[in-house]
Amino acid sequence: MPSNFANRLGLYEDSTDRAYEEQFRQFLQYHWQVLMFKRTVEERIDFSLHTPNLSWLGVLEFKRRYVPIRKYPTLFFDKSKFVAGQTMAALAGVPHYFAVWWDDALRVCQFTPYDVFDESVGGRWDRNDVNDVDLLVHVPIDRFVPFRDVGTGQIVSA
């Protein structure tokens, strides 16, 4: 299935970000036996997940973090992306996933409709861009579990 990344790039995504995202997409499509379609920036979620006959299976946000998994007790990300994913998943009746590739681990968190996380205001201040400062949710690292291959049930990594 061809990638549709070209017209769906984030404001500050570069070629390295896109390469990791594409490698992750190929990894997950293989191990979960799903099709993944890149969503638009306006939708605020990275991917929709589908069966080979295009039935909707879930929505997924992906992040690459250039630190070890245990460097911080939580992983924070933009609350508007969390809310968009929760809303899209609820309306479609599918799961909402958050996958993170740290320097030493690749893990996934499946959100529930009842998840409530600590919040803060933060982001990047060095670019003087108001779009870089967001309301953030802090997801505990312990919520992230290893990926398992759907065929074998074995833990897999990239």
- Placement of tokens 């009746």 in the chain: 93
Dihedral over Cα of 84, 155, 29, 5: its sign: positive
Contact 48, 38 (CB under 8 A): no
Pairing relationship of beta strands 145-148 and 106-111 according to DSSP bridges: antiparallel
Instruction: Tell me how far apart the alpha carbons of residues 142 and 130 are, in angstroms, rounded to a whole number.
Output: 31
The per-residue pLDDT for range 8-34, each reduced to its tens digit, is 445 556 788 889 999 999 999 999 999
Residues facing residue 155 across a β-bridge = 148
The per-residue pLDDT for range 52-63, each reduced to its tens digit, is 999 999 999 999
Tell me, what's the pLDDT at 12? 56
The per-residue pLDDT for range 68-127, each reduced to its tens digit, is 999 999 999 999 999 999 999 999 999 999 999 999 999 999 999 999 999 999 877 888
Residue 5 one-letter amino acid:
F
Q: Which domains does the chain have, with CATH numbers?
A: 15-70+80-116 (3.40.1350.10)
> Does 5 score more than 80 pLDDT?
no
